[in-house]
Amino acid sequence: MGILFDFMPMLLEVTPKAMASLGAGIAIGMGALGATIAMGLAAGKALDAGSRQPGIFSKIQTLLLTSIVFIESIAIYSLVVALLLIFTVK
């Protein structure tokens, strides 16, 4: 409990730019983590479906590439949010 009170003066002097930088780091980190997990799951399920029914693998591949594009757009949105946080907060 005493450690929290030792950090209190330091926490009160944090600038908005520092908080925006922290938020930007969290935004890009979580966006990249979510997109990576989603791509891995989608690719795993697509390979599983392709191994069960090899005849429809070309259709599965098209759907997989389309879904990866939409998943990647989430990571790009998080990058845009991070850049906005970094460059708009003064």
- pLDDT 10s digits, 14-63: 888 888 899 999 999 999 999 999 999 999 999 999 999 999 989 999 99
pLDDT of residue 71: 92
Q: What is the mean pLDDT of residues 1-22?
A: 76
pLDDT of residue 4: 58
89 within 8 A of 28, measured Cβ to Cβ: no
pTM of the predicted structure, to 2 decimals? 0.76
